[in-house]
Amino acid sequence: PKAIQLSDYRAPNYQVETTHLRFELFNDYTIVHSKLELVRHQADATSLHLDGQELELISIELDGQPLTAERYVLGEESMEIHGLGERHTLAIVTRIYPAKNTALEGLYRSGGMYCTQCEAEGFRRITYYPDRPDVMSVFTTEIIADAEQFPVLLSNGNPVSETVSDGKRHAVWLDPHKKPAYLFALVAGDLKVKEDRFTTMSGRDVVLKIFVEPQNIDKTDYAIDALQRSMRWDEEVYGREYDLDIFMIVAVDDFNMGAMENKGLNVFNSSCVLANPATATDAAYQRIESIVAHEYFHNWSGNRVTCRDWFQLSLKEGFTVFRDAGFSADMNSATVKRVEDAKIMRTVQFAEDGGPMAHPVQPDAYIEISNFYTVTIYEKGCEVVGMLHKILGAEKFRKGSDLYFARHDGQAVTINEFVSAMQDASGIDLTLFKRWYKQAGTPIVSATTKYDAEAKTLSLTLRQHTPDTPKQTNKLPVWIPVQLGLLDANGNDMAIQVEPAAAWTPESQVLHFKEAEQTFVFSGVTTEPVVSLFRDFSAPVKVQFDQTPTDLLFLLKHDSDGFNRWDAGQRLMLHWIEQAAATSEFSLAPTEREALASLLADTELDAAMVAYLLTLPSEAYISEFSDVVDPLRIHTSREAVCQAIAVDLSAEFKDCYLRLCSSDEYAPIPAQMTARALKNLALSYWARVTDEGLEQAQQQFASADNMTDQMAALIVMVNSGNEAVAAPALTSFYQQWQTDPLVVNQWLSAQAGSSAMGTVEHVKYLLAHPAFDWRNPNKVRSVISIFANQSLVNFHREDGAGYALLADAVIRLNSSNPQIASRLLTPLTKWQRLVPTLSQLMKAELQRIMHQGNLSKDVYEVVSKSLG
């Protein structure tokens, strides 16, 4: 397969002014009639390129006449029409087979319903079309289907009409806003609807509807509430108002990703929208809140202003993730949200940046665009927008956002246009900043300080370097906003005066670090301070700054920046884990024990924050610090520290647990969710080292009235490694929930992700279980991805059986669902950094995949890049 290059971008020859679609849904197939009004867009252009995949062409007419064979050329995935003039009407009829569509791109069947997924290039599986985001059209959609089987027929925009005759239902929808084909959607099914309303800031009434399969109608309240809050927030914080009479969400069981922002008709993976207290955990509620917001926010950042081409994907995704992060921070705790986002960056994104699939936020080449829906495009893209926010400040950033939407409404644009709007609105030259979009890799910043007691100055020298990544060497320095503070002996922030003064923004306490090496001199520093660097995770960089355990403990206790309190704790814990690895034993020093105990007793702090402060760095994060990764050693040393903390503080964990047990009725509200997070963390430590704690877990499991507590207790029992406790709980849980697929998925994950239970043999047992289904991406993720990403000691088993299991799954899914196959592969791409024996075994599995015939583009791209 050939790579597509950004440098080859050419504007389209023709625009499609209007697109008229008529779908006739039959049991075995669907007939799609399309009528396009074409207008020449490039002077002198006479040919039109259409994309098409897995289509049966039935007829083609130009301006009402059948198009003769010499006027068009059909390729394997395309159609070229020649001899065209200024304006034409093109009518094409195709036949497609949604029931056979296992790739879940284009129009497919999920259970008894029809739905679509057109981003990025799924529309070409529906009809021949210029399937590229810079072709924007006004769509009218007619759907004709059996009236009884399909009482609900939906598409984008506003409803125009619905009639029934001769047993057929006929619905017409019109979307007045121009959009690219990737935002097209159609849904047909026997669905129930939850309805509500929203009045926009200008007083327009919008109908809100969530469509679900009948058994799920009691799981829609929270999504509606999250949607209303998102709509209000986008008006208040970004000045963005909704623009149709109706906004719809549909829940679908078989879906490759989380959700899709189709204009006026968002389609959601049911796991990202359905919740009630008995079946959904607090984590699920929070995921729903953030994904509902994310998809809704796309209405402006993505739909009204879209991407010119797929190299600009982060234009909509990075900005929209930044917007949903702001929403979640405002709805819950900003510090907790920052910690969660930094954890993902530092484990998953830094690993991507350091591996064979590393790419810039604006990539310059790809083989399969589906492989580029990555943490780099989404989360690093969000961090880059976040740095712009830090550099401009909230007010100028908002002006930049307003200018961007005003300038480009109805257009398909590039990342450059976004940065230009920010630059023009703020008057700040952002030329240097743009390097963040073009350079792959995580910059490494090293910091050294020198205190001069006589001159009362502190010099801070920063050096930056971005390592080479595939096909990118000799990287240039980037503009790094370093938010910082200096703590005096009492732990208070000192006032800051720094030279060069121009490098400092006092309002945001940000130092602008732009060269390979720079020294900044702080004056009036009367006593040697403890330095708090990169507060609020102000830049997505790796920091090398040697601070003693004493300083880290001091920051953990006193830093006014919540994020850096947590970070100091993580760095301290990393010291402990290193110590445990070096000496095979570990115990807490009295001051350390004291610090943890006082955190546990601190009722002023956000309880979720305390839970994070007391959670050890993950095995994935620890491995980021080793040049050669030995998963077993990492697991054993982390476990030793975890055990020591549990033993030393078991009484405190018990007290904390009992203090937080509450008889209030469950509600997914921040005050309760944070308390449950800490309570269940305390239970996990307590149950690890005492029979009393484990019995408490059994009791919580049996009496819980909500899934958060039931699942937390189940996981404690599973992780105890005590078969006599875990097995009966797993059986009774399955009996209780076997008819609810989303809960069963949690049951599968609890086992597959456990170091104690997620052995290769047990995962094979789960794959053969009646609850498992290879065609359903949620099931595949719940077992295989969770196993390979969480049960690391078992995945990295010394005989390579974990790798073989994953490779077998990839081979199996390669032809039925290439997107899922390719996403599963990620853990196998990390072979180069493993200890030699494991490295060879993993590489051999990649080679085995490579030698299969008929690899999809998706799998081929990842495997070939991984093998180098």
Binding site for Zn ion (CB under 5 A): 317, 320
User: Least separation, in Å, of the C-beta of 298 and Zn ion?
Assistant: 6
Regarding 294 and contact with ligand HT7 (CB under 6 A), the answer is yes
CB of 256 to ligand HT7, least distance (A): 4
Q: What's the CA gap between 612 and 715, in Å, rounded?
A: 18
Query: 323 or 843, CB closer to Zn ion?
Result: 323
Written as one string, the DSSP assignment of 330-390 is HHS-HHHHHHHHHHHIIIIIHHHHTSTT---SS-SEES-GGGG-SHIIIIIHHHHHHHHHH
Closer CB to ligand HT7, 298 or 380, in the complex = 298
Shortest gap between Cβ of 322 and Zn ion (angstroms)? Answer: 11
DSSP annotation string for 763-779: HHHHHTSTT--TT-HHH
Please say if 692 is a catalytic residue.
Answer: no
CA 488/CA 506 separation, integer angstroms: 18
Instruction: Look at residue 117 and give the partner it binds from ligand HT7, Zn ion, none, a contact being a CB closer than 5 to 8 Å depending on partner kind.
Output: ligand HT7
Q: Which is nearer to ligand HT7, 254 or 295 (CB)?
A: 295
Partner whose binding site includes residue 370, from Zn ion, ligand HT7, none (CB under 5 to 8 Å by kind): ligand HT7
Choose between 261 and 740: whose C-beta lies nearer to ligand HT7.
Answer: 261
| For the chain, counts of helices (H) and of strands (E) | 30, 34
Q: How far is the CB of 626 from ligand HT7 (least distance, A)?
A: 32
Question: Which one among 282, 295, 536, 845 touches ligand HT7, defined by CB under 6 A?
Answer: 295
Pick one of 254, 317, 341, 652: the residue that binds ligand HT7 (CB under 6 A).
317
Q: How far is the CB of 251 from ligand HT7 (least distance, A)?
A: 14
Query: Shortest approach of Zn ion to residue 295 CB, angstroms?
Result: 7
Q: Which residue has the tokens 């990620």?
A: 826
- Return d(Cα 427, Cα 397) in angstroms, integer: 11
CB 240 within 8 A of CB 256: no
CA distances from 269 to 180, 230, 325, 843 (A): 22, 19, 20, 33
Binds 635, which of Zn ion, ligand HT7, none (CB < 5 to 8 A, cut-off by type)? Answer: none
Total site size for ligand HT7, rule CB under 6 A: 15
Q: Which residue is nearest to ligand HT7 (CB)?
A: 257
Name residues whose C-beta falls within 8 Å of residue 262's C-beta, 6 or more positions apart in sequence.
116, 118, 156, 183, 184, 185
Distance of alpha carbon 176 from alpha carbon 157, whole angstroms: 7
CB atoms within 10 A of CB 176: 13
376 binds, among ligand HT7, Zn ion, none (CB under 5 to 8 A by kind): none
Q: Which one, 267 or 445, has the nearer CB to ligand HT7?
A: 267
Q: Cβ 321 to ligand HT7, closest distance in Å?
A: 8
Looking at residue 105, what DSSP letter applies? -
Closest distance between ligand HT7 and the C-beta of residue 819, in Å?
A: 6
Please check whether residue 694 is in contact with residue 717, taking contact to mean a CB–CB distance below 8 angstroms: yes
The DSSP line for 152-215 is EEEESSEEEEEEEETTEEEEEEEEEEEE-GGG--EEEE--EEEEEEEE-TTS-EEEEEEEE-GG
306 binds ligand HT7 (CB under 6 A): no
Token pair listed for 519:
């020294």
- How much of the chain is in helix, strand and coil states, percent to nearest 5? 45, 20, 30
Residues of span 357-396 touching ligand HT7 by CB under 6 A = 370, 373
Maximum CA extent, the chain: 95
Of the listed pieces 256-264, 324-332, 838-846, 854-862, which binds ligand HT7 according to CB under 6 A? 256-264
140 versus 782: smaller Cβ distance to ligand HT7? 782
Q: How far is the CB of 378 from ligand HT7 (least distance, A)?
A: 7
User: Of the ranges 292-300, 467-475, 726-734, 744-752, which one interacts with ligand HT7 (CB under 6 A)?
Assistant: 292-300
Q: Which does 120 bind (CB under 5 to 8 A by kind): Zn ion, ligand HT7, none?
A: ligand HT7
Among 299, 819, 826, 856, binds ligand HT7 (CB under 6 A): 819
Measure the CA dihedral 420/422/426/432, to 10°.
-60
Q: Given the rule CB under 6 A, which of 294-302, 440-448, 498-506, 723-731 is the region that contacts ligand HT7?
A: 294-302
Cα gap 276→217, rounded to integer Å: 10
The option from Zn ion, ligand HT7, none interacting with 134 (CB < 5 to 8 A, set by class) reads none
Q: Could you tell me the CA-to-CA distances from 294 to 160, 197, 227, 257, 325 in Å, in that order? A: 28, 19, 10, 13, 9
Min separation Cβ 415 and ligand HT7, Å: 16
Residue 254 interacting with ligand HT7 (CB under 6 A): no
Of 23 and 268, which has the nearer Cβ to ligand HT7? Answer: 268
End-to-end distance of the chain based on CA atoms, in angstroms?
16
x/- contact string, 114-143, with ligand HT7 (CB under 6 A)? ---x-xx-----------------------
295, 340, 368, 383: which one is catalytic?
295
Between 312 and 370, whose beta carbon lies closer to ligand HT7?
A: 370
Spatial distance between the Cα atoms of 292 and 259, rounded to a whole number of angstroms = 8
Which is closer to Zn ion, CB of 382 or CB of 511? 382
- In sequence order, the β-bridge partners of residue 89 are 37
Distances (CA, A) of 426 to 124, 419, 455, 504, 542: 41, 11, 37, 17, 29
Radius of gyration of the chain (CA): 28
Distance CA 831, CA 233 (A): 44
- In the bound state with ligand HT7, the residue whose beta carbon lies nearer, of 175 and 567, is 175
Give 349 or 547: the residue with its C-beta nearer to Zn ion.
349
Q: Does residue 260 bind ligand HT7 (CB under 6 A)?
A: yes
Residue 256 binds to ligand HT7 (criterion: CB under 6 A) = yes
617 vs 350: CA distance, rounded Å: 15
Interface segment toward ligand HT7; rule CB under 6 A; list 43-51, 79-87, 257-265, 798-806? 257-265
Answer with the entry of ligand HT7, Zn ion, none that 253 interacts with (C-beta below 5 to 8 A by kind): none
With H, G, I as helix, E, B as strand and everything else as coil, classify residue 251. Answer: strand
> Which among ligand HT7, Zn ion, none contacts residue 119 (Cβ within 5 to 8 A by kind)?
ligand HT7
Q: How many CB atoms within 10 Å of residue 388?
A: 26
Task: Tell me which residues touch ligand HT7 (CB under 6 A).
Answer: 117, 119-120, 256-257, 259-261, 294-295, 298, 317, 370, 373, 819
Catalytic positions, written as ranges: 295
